[in-house]
Amino acid sequence: MTETTESSGNEGVEPEAKRRRLRRLGSSVVRSATVLARTLLACEEKREQRHREMVELEERRLRMEEERTEMRRQGFAGLISAVNNLSGAIHALVSDHRNGDAR
């Protein structure tokens, strides 16, 4: 009976140690999972921030391109207007010259 009692006593001690070990292991797993979850969230937030920055950068590039195109359009419009004014002045000069010759 002593052997049986002894082995029963050992079984009682072993499961308690095993439970403590499993509890520590479980706590460690929970801590690791928490760290992993926080890391994944931080990574996702950084990815979203980088995406927003890239979208803003692309929008800025497009605005600059539109402004450059508008400046070119205005430049050509001014050039066309100047050429038309020059043409009108040349026609007036030729007309005045012809009228002066006819007199």
The predicted-structure confidence for 39-76, as pLDDT tens digits, reads as follows 999 999 999 999 999 999 999 999 999 999 999 999 99
How high does pLDDT run on average in the chain? Answer: 88
Work out the average pLDDT over 83-87: 98
What does the alpha-carbon distance between residue 80 and residue 71 come to, in Å, rounded to a whole number? Answer: 14
**Residue, of 21 and 64, whose pLDDT is higher:** 64
What per-residue confidence (pLDDT) applies to 52?
99
CA distances from 62 to 32, 48, 66, 73, 75 (A): 45, 21, 6, 16, 20
Look at residue 8 and tell me whether its pLDDT is greater than 60.
no
Look at residue 1 and tell me whether its pLDDT is greater than 60.
no
- Least trusted range by pLDDT, from 3-7, 45-49, 99-103: 3-7
Backbone phi, psi, residue 64, to 5°: -65, -40
What does the alpha-carbon distance between residue 2 and residue 16 come to, in Å, rounded to a whole number? Answer: 21
